Amino acid sequence: MEYKPTIIGIADSTHYLVGVTDSKDNFTALPSLQDVAICISLSEAKNLLKSHSVHTAQLTLQTAYDEMCGLPASATAHETIHF
């Protein structure tokens, strides 16, 4: 199964989640860590991945605001970042 290193940011959140996404879009911990990592900044998330020899990741930005207002969920924004 193929894994993509992933950083998830959620609107108005004070942290980023760092892990991997599999081909079925399941988000789990990096194979070298036991749990999904929580970082207080995007810079810290990138540095964590670099410390595990990862230099490219999928950045996923999510918001729940549309759902909170009764609208259909917005599409999740994905971007490949290199560091």
Tally of structural domains, the chain: 1
Cα 83 versus chain centre, distance:
15
Say if residues 37 and 47 touch (Cβ distance below 8 Å).
no
The residue type of 75 is A
pLDDT 10s digits, 51-70: 999 999 999 988 766 666 66
38: CB partners within 8 A, 6+ apart = 15, 16, 17, 18
Listed in order, strand segments (DSSP E) in 1-83 are 3-10, 16-22, 27-28, 37-39, 56-62, 77-82
Residue 28's domain comprises 3-82
pLDDT 10s digits, 17-41: 999 999 998 999 999 999 999 999 9
- pLDDT of 69: 67
